[in-house]
Each structure stands twice: as C-alpha cells, then as structure tokens.
Structure 1
Amino acid sequence: MTEALHRDYQIGEEIGSGRFGIVYRCTSSSSGEQFAVKSINKALLVDPVDRDCIDTEAKLTHLASSSSSSHSGSHTVRLHGVYEDSSFLHLVLDLCDGSDLFDHLSRHAPLPEPEAASIMTSVIEAISSCHKNGVAHRDIKPDNILFDGQGGLRLADFGSAGWFGGGGNSTTMMSGLVGTAHYVAPEVVRGEEYGEKVDIWSAGVVLYVMLGGGLPFEGGSAVEVFEAVMRGNLRFPTRIFGWVSPEAKDLMRRMMSKDVSRRLSAEQALRHPWITSGGGAR
C-alpha cells in the first residue's frame, strides 16, 4: 500500500473481498474515525471494460453522494480519499460494518410491508441522490445495499455506474450490458441505449424480493433469465402475495413497467402512496 495511505490511516483487518480486490477496516491517524479502504489490484483488470469501470468508480462514487440534499445523500457510501501506486488503487469509503440486505433477506424474507417500505424509501432516496448528480448506479441489488451499523442503509459499489448528465434529465444515453441478470432492466438486455430509469426497474425487483421472498423473473440459465426479463410478465401469485396490499403491487408494477416512459422516476416513486404511508404503517 502507498506510503501516503499508511501515513493517513492505520490499516486493520480484512472485512470483505471481491473480484478485483480486498476491503480493510482502517482508522484515521488524525481523527481516530473508522473507515473502509477498498484496495483494487490493477493486475486483475485484464478486460478493458473492467479497467474503464474502475477508472470511473472513484469519480462516480463521489458524485453520487454530492447531492445538495444531505438527507438523500446520506444513503450512499461516501468517498473520503483516493490513493494510487503502480499496483493498486485504494478508495477510502464510509465504513458499513453491519450486514447487507441480501443477508437480511436470506434470514427474514418476506418482510412486513412497513419494514420493506422503510428500506425501499432509503434505497429510492439514494437513487434520487445519484440521479440528481447525473449518475446511474446500474447494479441495484440486495448485495449492494448495506446496513451501516447505526440503523441506516447505504447504497454501495459504484463499479458499474454510468454517467448520463445532470439535473435529473438524461442528456447522454448509456449503453452496454451492465448489471446482474435477475435485476437488470429489459432495455439493457435488448442492447438498446437507455437512461437512468434502469435503476428504478432494479429497485422494483428488490421490492418484489422483500415482499415475496423470491424473484419475479427466473430461469435455469442467464439466457432464460434474460428472456423472462424481456417478456416482463410480472405476476403476483396469490399463495405468495395474497397478504400484500394493492398499493404495494401498484408501486411494483409502476417501477417495473416495460414502457420506460410510463416507469416512475425516483422522485415519483418517493411520492407514491405506499411509500408516503410507510407501507401502511400505523
């Protein structure tokens, strides 16, 4: 690791790993505050697409959490420093030492509507913060939604993120098959150019998993999953969704609309009655 990183932070134990590197706990030498440092091994970036993603990750992570609304921005993992040497790129990030939503759902799904609404509100606020700054996350899934250990949620891992412009209006369309098969929007699978609403589709799939305990589009292979996604035949089996409110189902239909022009934006989703009522919480 770079001399500057060791000067500024005390590096602790490994707390996670991924395709390209390892995440460590670290402590600021000046303040004593704890962070995470994601150390990316450049030697593993053989594919030019992977190199491009890593090159832009730091920039887009910073942009995504730079909203003028500190509340919505607080739901994205923030970047605190970048260090680089010949072998590694090191990103100092917020420490989220709780579990992630995938682990939570593995133990507790399906969730009660008020709990699902609370989680989804934070997720959509994070997406809204990203979109206001011209960033599409492009890989919204439970694994990338982290509990920060203080009762909050953070949207993490901007390695697949794309830049589309600012002000909430797509000024530059994006392209490329990016994301995770079960959560990716149909326009991405079809190979079309697309806008930031791909994140809303993915968040809709997350909501479906929270309330139903399973995925809306499945198959025995990635190809079959993509075919199911492109059909977009959204069903709510009574044996699974019989207890789920009509308002929750309406929100999912609007988030997973194949017609992008009819799909909700992040701001529209935040104003949906199911969200504003806290999933009918009393």
Structure 2
Amino acid sequence: MTEALKRDYRICEEIGRGRFGVVRRCEPLRPSAEPSSASSLAVKSIDKSAVSGDDLDSHCLLMEPKVLSLLSPHPNLLRIHSTYEDSSHLHLVLDLCDSPDLHLAVASAGPLPEPEAARILSQLMCAVAHCHRHGVVHRDIKPDNILFDSRGRLRLADFGSAEVIGGDPAARLKGVVGTPYYVAPEVVEGREYGEKVDLWSAGVVLYVMLAGFPPFNGESVAEIFGAVLRANLRFPPRAFRSASATAKDLLRKMLCRDVSRRFSADQVLRHPWLTSFGGGAEAADLQI
C-alpha cells in the first residue's frame, strides 16, 4: 500500500473481495477540501498481477477510474475521491456503500412492490441518463452493480466494462461484454451497438425487481443467449397477476428488440409508470 494512501487514510477492515482485489473501509486522516465528504469511505485495491495480458482485463483496470472521474459527482453514481498507484496495486478511494446491493435485496425479500421498484428505477435512470449525456455506455448494468448508501440512495457502480463514445450519436461499439441474463440481443449477435444496450439491461433489472427472476432464462450461457435473441417477453400470471398495465407497457418499451424503438433513459423517466409514483423526469431534474 502506498505511503501517500496510508498518510491520507486510515485503512480498516475488509468488506469485500473480488477477482482482481480487495475492498476495505477507510477513514480520512486529514480534513477534506470537500465539506460533503463522508467520514467513512472504501478503498478498492486492484492487484495488477491478477490482471492478465488480455486486452479486456487491462481495459477494465484502466477504465473505471477514468470513467468515474469523468462522471463524478452525481448523486446516483459511485463517486471516486482519489486514486493511488504503486508497483503492485491500483487503489481507488470510493464512496462507502455497505447496505445490501439490489441482487441481495431481491434474493432475501423477493419481488418488490411497484412503488419501491419505481423509486429504484427512477434513480437508476437518472444515473444512466447522466452517463449517456457524457458519452459513457456502462455495458454491465445488473442488480449486483446497483448499490445503496447509508441513506438508501442508489449508487450505480462497477464501470470496468464501460466505454466512452463521446458526443457522437452515431458512434458504435463492438464486443460481447456484460452478464448473460442482462445483455442485449444486438450484443449477443455480434453487431455494432450503442448506448441503448444499457436500457435493455435496465429493463431486465426492472423485470427482476417485479418478478424475482429474469425474463430470459436458461441452464447454460448458450441457452440464455438463445432466449435473449428470441426476446419473447412474457408475463407469467404467478409473478405478474397484480402487476399494473403501465408497468408491463414500460417493460415492453425497454425490452424491445428493435433498437430504434427501444426507449432512451429520458423517455423512461417520462413514462407514466414512473411519474405516477413521484419519480421520473421531475425527480431527475432535482438530482442532476
């Protein structure tokens, strides 16, 4: 760990561990120039030796600090406070989100009531709209990457798979990136794609919040990808018996195979299902 990091922060207990490193709680040792800074933060220490020579792994290592610096601050994005590097590790000091992520919340409590799902989707769309305005495509939106801070506010995290396409609406990406249940059909097909892959993924997140399971399923990655490509969106009565017509309408518009007809983040924020629960475009204006 760098001397500069230990000089600026007290490194505390481990709170998470992943393929590339460890996350620990940390506390600033010096008063911050930013009065809004939290007293407890998290330091994500990425082990460079765990990153192979593979281009994708190296890309993930480099992209997260770059993208978070470009996008911060925003109330619904995980904020990067500082970066440190030594010969073996890259250390990112981030907001601390020690509440269960959305995946754990749904796994433990089951499907969410529509007002709660709408509150979460509204905040997620605020984050996604902010990313897209800055030319950033997240490419791995899923419940595991949707965190909550101590006030219960959503924080979109893990920008290791993100790509910056800039302000050109015609810019396109390639490559199968993301998590099988949440990846858009155009990605699976190997076609060029743009920011609307994030809207497909967010639509799957909404479906999971309301049903407790993903809309496109399978026993293997190949089977899941086959279901994604068919894009046969169904609403099983056992899970959607009490779901509103407007919720199903929004799901159809987010999980639309035709990219030209798939909703944008701003369109989702204006949809009646969100605005009826006090979220949507008006809430977005307050947060951005």
Category of TM-score, reference length = shorter chain: over 0.9
Alignment-derived partner of residue 252 in structure 2: 253
Where 1:157 maps in the other structure, the secondary structure is: coil
Residue 66 (structure 2) aligns with: 59
Q: Which amino acid aligns with 1:93?
A: L
Correspondence 1:61-140 to 2 at 5 A: 61-66=68-73, 73-140=74-141
Tell me the distance in 1 between the aligned counterparts of 2:71 and 2:174: 19
Q: CA RMSD in A?
A: 1.4
On the 8 A contact 1:61/1:158 being kept in 2, the answer is yes
Q: After the TM superposition, which residues 108-187 of structure 1 pair with which residues of structure 2 at under 5 Å, given as runs?
A: 108-166=109-167, 170-187=169-186
Structure 1 residues without counterparts, runs of 5 or longer: 67-72
Residue matched to 2:215? 216
**The residue matched to 1:12 in structure 2 has which SS?**
strand
CA displacement at 1:54 relative to structure 2: 1.0
Matched residue of 1:176: which SS? coil
What is the CA distance between 1:171 and its match in structure 2? 4.3
Q: CA deviation at 1:239?
A: 2.1
One-letter code aligned to 2:42: A
4+ runs deviating over 2 angstroms: 169-172
Say whether the 8 Å CA contact 1:116–1:279 is kept in structure 2: no
How far is 1:165 from its partner? 1.2
Pairing 1:19–2:25 present:
no
Following superposition, the deviation at residue 49 of structure 1 comes to 1.2
Distance in 1, matches of 2:231 and 2:105, equals: 26
Counterpart CA distance in 2 for 1:122 and 1:30 is 32
In structure 2, distance between residues paired with 1:279 and 1:256: 23
TM-score (norm 2): 0.92
Contact 2:59–2:160 under 8 Å retained in 1 = no
Amino acid at match of 2:48: K
The verdict on how the C-alpha distance between 1:182 and 1:268 changes in structure 2, with shifts beyond 3 A counting, is same
The one-letter code of the counterpart of 2:211 is G
| 1:109 Cα deviation after fit | 2.0
Q: What TM-score do you get using the length of structure 1 for normalisation?
A: 0.94
Residue deviations 1:48-89, cap 9 Å, x none? 2101121111011222335xxxxxx20000111110111000
Deviation readout 1:107-155 (Å, 9 max, x if unpaired): 1221110011001101111111111111111110110001112121100
Q: Is the 8 A contact 2:97 2:150 kept in 1?
A: yes
Q: Map residues 187-226 of structure 1 onto 2, 5 A cutoff.
A: 187-226=186-225
Identical-pair percentage: 59
- Displacement of 1:97 in angstroms is 1.4
- SS of the equivalent of 1:129 reads helix
